[in-house]
Homo-oligomer: A and B are copies of this chain.
Amino acid sequence: MTAGFVDKSACTHRTIFPGVEIATAAGEQMMLSMVDLKPGAEVAPHSHPHEQVGTVLEGRAKFFLGDEERVLGPGDMYIIPGGMTHRVIAMEEGCRALDVFHPVREDYL
């Protein structure tokens, strides 16, 4: 468990879909996941029991949340309840987003 400043070198790095890389760090009850999507990269439709919230930091991506879709850019926020199917496709400039999960995703440790 991390407390205080998060050193990027101490993060766990994973490629979760082609062109989609995450760097994660876990607290006690929440997990941070910095997501980098290459242009056109897709997070395929999926769901999980964890609640997920986040914002876009750079670039833009089309988010599909349940039955809604919207192109999000820097500062746009989202709240994905546990069990809601979601999908993300990066626009042509790519996208960086921060996701936060509760509880901690043990599969991303």
Interface residues on A, range: 35 or more
Interface-lining segment among A12-20, A26-34, A37-45, A87-95: A26-34
Does the CB pair A57–B74 fall under 8 Å?
A: yes
Q: Copy number of this protein in the oligomer?
A: 2
Chain A residues proximal to chain B, CB less than 8 Å: 2-6, 25-30, 32, 34, 51, 53, 55, 57-58, 63, 65-66, 68, 70, 72, 74-82, 84, 96, 98, 100, 102
Instruction: Output the nearest chain B residue to A50 by Cβ-Cβ distance.
Output: B29
Does the CB pair A51–B27 fall under 8 Å?
A: yes
Can you list 8 A-B contacts with CB-CB less than 8 angstroms, sorted by A residue number?
A: A3-B66, A6-B79, A27-B51, A28-B82, A29-B102, A30-B102, A32-B77, A75-B96
